Amino acid sequence: MVDELDVDDVVARARARLRALHAAQHAVVNHRARDGVDPDLELKASLAPYVRDLFARDGTSERASAAATRMAFCGLETAGELRFWEYGVEWLATAERRLALYRVKCGGLDARRMLVEDGSGEGGDGFEWDSDGSTWMPFELATTATGRRVALEVRDGYAKVPKEALAECYAERVEREVRRDCERVFRKLRAWVSAGDAPRAFDPRCRSNALRAIRTWQPAVEDLPRVDARGGVSLAKRRRARRRAVRVGGAAQVAIAVEADDVGEDAEVHRSGEDLKRALAAAHPAATKVQTRPYPPCMRDQLSALRRDAHLKYADRFRLNLFLKGIGFEVGETLEFWRRGVFPRGRMAAYQKEHTYSIRHHYGLEGAMKDYTPHNCESLGKKSENGRACPFVGSNVDEFRSASSSKDWFGELSFDGRVAVELAVQAGDARCACERVFADFHGGVPVGEDFLFPVDYYDASLEIEELYRERKSALAKAPSNAENAAESGDDDQAEDDVLPKNFKLDVDEFSSDDDDK
C-alpha cells in the first residue's frame, strides 16, 4: 500500500498538520495573560485560521497526515540503530492534544461526535446526551473532568460530564491514542526495516527519506500566529526574536541536531563568536566588570565558582549549560567553553568523563533526546538539594547581605544600588531585586517588562550595548549634525533607541572576526 502512495503528497499533508501543531504550540507557549482579558478568547482568535478548517471534510488527508507524523516521530536512526524516540513521542502527543483542544474550541471539530466515534473501543457501547449539553460517557474517558475536581454524577461505570469539559476530554483521548499508536507503529517500523521490506522513501536508514523530511520540517516564523506579549519596553526583543520567543522547532530542531551529529557534520566545528568569547572571558580569573556585566547574578555566581574551583556540581552545571543553550550556544560551543575556559585549570580527564555526555544530553543528543529549555526565574528560586540558585529568595536582609558580601556582583553595586536591592529583598520581591541590579549596572536603564528568564537579562544587556554602539557610530559619522541638533534641542533619536540622551557605558569589543587567542 505504501508503494502506491504519492510520497510528496504524504509529506505535504504531514507538513500541513505540523504547521497547525506548531501554531498551537507557539501561541500557547508565548502568550502572556493580560488583566481583564480572557486568555482563551485571545488564543482562539489567533489560532482559528490555523486549526478550524484543517483537512475539513477530507478524511483521507486527516488519516494520512496523522499516520505520517506518528511514523516520523516514533523513532530515530542513531549510531546505525533505529531507536524509540521518547521525546519525539512526548512532543507529538502533547502537541496533538493541544491541537485537538483548539480545533474543538474554534469550531473545527464536534467533540461529542468525535468522542462517540473514537470512544467505542475504550469501554462502552454508546453515549447519552442530556438537553443541557452534558454527556454520559464511559468513566475512563472522563478522567480529565474528574482530575479537574468537577462534580460528576456516576452511574454503572458512566460519568455525566458537563458540556464545557467535553473538549478537554476529547483532547486527552487524542493524547492517549497518539502515545499508544506511536509505540505500535515503532514496533511495526522496526520489523519492516529489519526484514528489508521498507521502501527507500520510508526507510529511516536512508538519509533522504520522507520521514526525515517530515521530522525535521518546521514552519517559518512569519507563518505562525502573532502573539502579543505583555506591554512595556522589552530591550531583549530583537535578540529574543532570533531565539526563544520565536522558537518553533522543538522536536524538529532536536531531530536535525541528532541526525547531523550522527554523521559527524558538526564534529569539531566551533565558531568563536561574541557570545562564546564573552563567556570565556567571564570564566577567566582576570574577568572584568564589563565582561561579566551581561550575566544575571544567578549565573555570575556559577561563573565565580568556576573561576575559583574549576568545577560545579551537576545541578549547577545543568543550569549553566541550559543558560548557555538559551543564549544561543550550539553544543560545540558549550563543549568548547568547558574545554578552553575551565579545564585548562582543571583535569582534562574529568572533562572527558563527566561533561561530554551530560552536555550532549542537555542538547538532546543523548538519552531520551529531549529538548531541555533554560530555567526561568521562578524555578531558580525554588529550593533544591544545592540550595536556591536565585540569590534574592529565601532570606532576610541580614542573611542576604552576609551571603552576598563576598560576591563580585554585590561588590560592584553602587551605594544607592545596594540600598535599592536590599529594600526589594526586604519586601520579598526577588524579581524587583534583580531588576535593581540590572539598572545599577546599566546606567539606570530598566531591564524591561518582559523579564521572565535569566536569558532575558543577558539579551537586554547586550541590546543596550548594541544600541549604545550604534549611537556612538552614528555620532562618529556625523558629529557636526549631532552637535547642532543638541544645541537646537531637537530630538533626533531613533525610534527604537530607548537610552537616555547622555547615556554612557563602558563596553569591550567582542568581534567574531577576531582570531582565537
**Which of the 8 DSSP states describes residue 274?**
H
Q: How many domains does the structure of the chain reveal? A: 2
Residue 432 burial by CB count (10 A; 0-12/13-18/19+): exposed, middle or buried? Answer: middle
Tell me, yes or no, whether 30 lies in a domain: yes
Determine contact, residues 8/60, Cβ cutoff 8 Å: no
- Are 312 and 414 in the same domain? yes
- Are 207 and 288 in the same domain? no
- Are 284 and 395 in the same domain? yes
Determine contact, residues 454/377, Cβ cutoff 8 Å: yes
- Are 224 and 289 in the same domain? no
Q: Please give the C-alpha separations between residue 258 and each of 175, 261, 372, in angstroms, as whole numbers.
A: 25, 5, 14
| pLDDT at residue 299, rounded to an integer | 96
- Are 378 and 497 in the same domain? yes
pLDDT tops 90 at residue 87: yes
Please tell me which of 142-156, 203-217, 251-265, 418-432 the model is most confident about, judged by mean pLDDT: 418-432
Residue 200 burial by CB count (10 A; 0-12/13-18/19+): exposed, middle or buried? Answer: exposed
- Are 401 and 494 in the same domain? yes
Cell output for 467? 544600541
- Are 282 and 212 in the same domain? no
Tell me, yes or no, whether 252 lies in a domain: no
Last residue of a domain, one of 212, 228, 244: 228
- Are 355 and 436 in the same domain? yes
Tell me, yes or no, whether 162 lies in a domain: no
Last residue of a domain, one of 228, 246, 263: 228
pLDDT tops 90 at residue 298: yes
Could you tell me where the DSSP H helices lie in 106-219?
111-119, 143-147, 166-194, 210-215
| pLDDT at residue 70, rounded to an integer | 96
- Are 104 and 12 in the same domain? yes
Q: How far apart are CA 237 and CA 266, in angstroms?
A: 29
Helix (H) or strand (E) holding 317: helix 314-326
CA torsion through residues 38, 39, 42, 48, sign: negative
Average pLDDT over residues 168-184: 91
Average pLDDT over residues 255-277: 67
Domain span at residue 48 reads 2-116+169-228
The number of beta carbons lying within 10 Å of the beta carbon of residue 291 is 20
| pLDDT at residue 214, rounded to an integer | 94
Q: Categorize the per-residue pLDDT at 231 as very low, low, confident or very high, splitting at 50, 70 and 90.
A: very low
- Are 421 and 511 in the same domain? yes
Q: How far apart are CA 92 and CA 10, in angstroms?
A: 18
Q: Categorize the per-residue pLDDT at 266 as very low, low, confident or very high, splitting at 50, 70 and 90.
A: very low
Question: Which tens digits make up the pLDDT trace of 61-70?
Answer: 999 999 999 9
Q: Categorize the per-residue pLDDT at 55 as very low, low, confident or very high, splitting at 50, 70 and 90.
A: confident
Tell me, yes or no, whether 132 lies in a domain: no
* Helices 331-341 and 314-326, packing angle to 10 deg: 130
Tell me, yes or no, whether 270 lies in a domain: no
Tell me, yes or no, whether 160 lies in a domain: no
Tell me, yes or no, whether 123 lies in a domain: no
Tell me, yes or no, whether 176 lies in a domain: yes
Question: Which tens digits make up the pLDDT trace of 405-462?
Answer: 999 999 999 999 999 999 999 999 999 999 999 999 999 988 877 788 899 899 999 9
256-287: b (≥16 Cβ within 10 Å) or e: bbbbebeeeeeeeebebbbbbbbbbbbbbeeb
- Are 327 and 474 in the same domain? yes
Strands 81-84, 75-78: parallel, antiparallel or unpaired by DSSP? Answer: antiparallel
- Are 284 and 222 in the same domain? no
* Amino acid of residue 173: R
| pLDDT at residue 476, rounded to an integer | 81
Whose grid coordinates read 543638541?
486
Average pLDDT over residues 74-98: 90
